[in-house]
Amino acid sequence: MDSFKLGNMDSRSAEALARLSAELEHRDAQDIVRWAVDRYPAGLVLACSFGAEDMVLVDMLTRVHPAPIIFYLDTGLLFPETYRLIDEAQTRYGFECVRVVPELTAAQQEEQYGDALWSRHPDHCCALRKVKPLQRYLADKSAWMTGIRRDQTLIRKNAPIVDFDRQHGLMKINPLAVWSSKDVFRYLIRNRVPYNPLHDHGYPSIGCMPCTRPVNPGDDARSGRWAGQEKTECGLHL
């Protein structure tokens, strides 16, 4: 078991982890991904929404891991462009994604909770279609890697490079925490990494179809997610 994977982490472990994260802060993202692969040879998974940041990590991870475990939360409500990118990425990089699904299909959810739960109770909808499936999937894993960046939302602004994720009970690694959106697209273009074409049509952040709108140039990148509501996060990264 990783020395940091302690349900009741003591202050010395927490300090050591904070030091480690501070050290990693000065390494480039590819090095951090390599470090994670070495550190967690079993039980490391990449959470992939197939957004721009996650495509960077797919590219980096497949450079250093012959058989990476890459999963996505299939809410059943993703854009057709996202499903097409999943197929393209699997073919290009030669991996098979783990498809993590909610207990209820979208149709069953509608039957049980009524039409368009996302518009009436988006937190409940995200809990059913994203948060709970993620909790179940991560239950037996050692570490997960995510593409969150500090400048995306207020909740993410202090995201460390590596931390113990108390919400899910495992290590969490954020190799792109210090990157900007420009860094992300520079990497995608330089390395000819496939990305969701919706990014070129006003969708800087892409989630489920019913809850994602295009934004105007210069608007906050996540303002198209749950537009008109106070919600800014699915609840996966608290």
Q: Is 82 in the site for ligand SF4 (CB under 6 A)?
A: no
DSSP state for residue 144 in the 8-state scheme: E
Whether the Cβ atoms of residue 59 and residue 50 lie closer than 8 Å to each other: no
Out of 210, 223, 232, 237, which residue is the one contacting ligand SF4 (CB under 6 A)? Answer: 210
Please report whether residue 144 would count as binding ligand SF4 according to CB under 6 A: no
- Mapping DSSP to helix (H, G, I), strand (E, B) and coil, where does residue 215 land? coil
CA distance 170 to 172: 7
Q: Which residues pair with 44 in a beta bridge?
A: 143
175 binds ligand SF4 (CB under 6 A): no
Q: Is 48 in the site for ligand SF4 (CB under 6 A)?
A: no
Least separation in angstroms between CB 119 and ligand SF4: 8
Concerning whether 234 is annotated as a catalytic residue, the answer is yes
Instruction: Tell me if 208 contacts ligand SF4 by CB under 6 A.
Output: yes
The angle formed by the CA atoms of residues 115, 123 and 127, to the nearest 5 degrees, is 90
Under the binding rule (CB under 6 A), the answer on residue 125 touching ligand SF4 is yes
The CA-based diameter of the chain, rounded to the nearest angstrom, is 50
Among 97, 177, 198, 211, binds ligand SF4 (CB under 6 A): 211
Residue among 133 and 160 whose Cβ is closer to ligand SF4: 133
Among 49, 62, 75, 153, binds ligand SF4 (CB under 6 A): 75
Cα dihedral 208, 211, 216, 220 sign = negative
- What's the CA gap between 186 and 204, in Å, rounded? 14
Instruction: Give the catalytic positions in this structure.
Output: 234
Site residues for ligand SF4 per CB under 6 A: 75, 77, 118, 122, 125-126, 129-130, 207-208, 210-211, 234
